[in-house]
Amino acid sequence: MSRTILFLRSLLFALLITLATVVWAPMCFLFAPMSYPNRYYWTSRWNVFVIWAAKVVCGIRYEIRGYENLPDGPAVLLSKHQSAWETIFYLCAMPRPLVYVFKKEITYIPFFGWGIALLRMIPIDRSKGKDAMARVISIGRQRLADGQWIIMFPEGTRSAVGRQGKYKGGGARLAVETNTQVVPIAMNSGECWPRNAFIKKPGLITVSIGKPISPEGLTPGELLQKVETWIESEMRVISPAVYAGQEQHIPQAAPVK
């Protein structure tokens, strides 16, 4: 497929998403009086549209492996992070409402931030360090008790295809503090929807869900090590060509502050 066609498809996709966001965000205020499950459902229809448009316009398909591994109970989801695709996809693909932990500045973004602000997410001020983590644990405990799942990206930011970011222990600490099982997720969205790239490429994104890992008897560092090892090993299964010739870095358990 020529680069011109890719550009035109990506341009059409961008225009559709912009239009959908401008139209849907103000409508989200109409959902505010609804019960939270209904408000969550209707707000996330934007996400459904984006994933559908990515498939129809840009040719970005997806498959989910290990969906049966998702538990029927509280969980902290820790996922590989390569693009914006998964942040959109997970919200409408998981069987329970998700709670994202993100920097509070996102809620200031016109239209998009308005919709996010109506959901029970956990915006934090990263400059506050330990206080920010204490907030995540406090609110996260409440959200888990309400039947929601917490989702975090331990690499902190999007990693380039074939690269491994430094895994941070906030999610593992939350799981240990709340005695909640962790579900590791590997995915290769960056191969179709590269980070910071306008051009979207047709292809198949694989989302692989691992079996839950119990935090019982583990330190946050030991739990994080198990998560990182599984995710990075699975990345080599779902994207073998990308990781050909690369040795996997086996992390050493370290204290998580």
CA nearest neighbour of 182 among 218, 156, 157: 218
Q: Enumerate the β-bridge partners of residue 185.
A: 79, 209
Domains defined for the chain, CATH in brackets: 3-238 (3.40.1130)
Structure confidence by residue, pLDDT tens digits, 154-184: 998 899 999 999 999 999 999 999 999 999 9
Please tell me the distance from the alpha carbon of residue 85 to that of residue 133, in angstroms, as a whole number. 26
pLDDT of residue 162: 92
CA nearest neighbour of 253 among 219, 217, 215: 219
CA nearest neighbour of 188 among 240, 244, 255: 240
Please tell me the distance from the alpha carbon of residue 226 to that of residue 184, in angstroms, as a whole number. 9
HSE-CB for 221 with a 13 A CA cutoff: 7
Phi, psi of 77 (to 5 degrees): -95, 130
Please tell me the distance from the alpha carbon of residue 80 to that of residue 158, in angstroms, as a whole number. 8
pLDDT of residue 253: 53
Is residue 64 within a helix (H) or strand (E), and if so which, with residue range?
A: strand 60-65
Structure confidence by residue, pLDDT tens digits, 186-242: 999 999 999 889 999 999 999 999 999 999 999 999 999 999 999 999 999 999 999
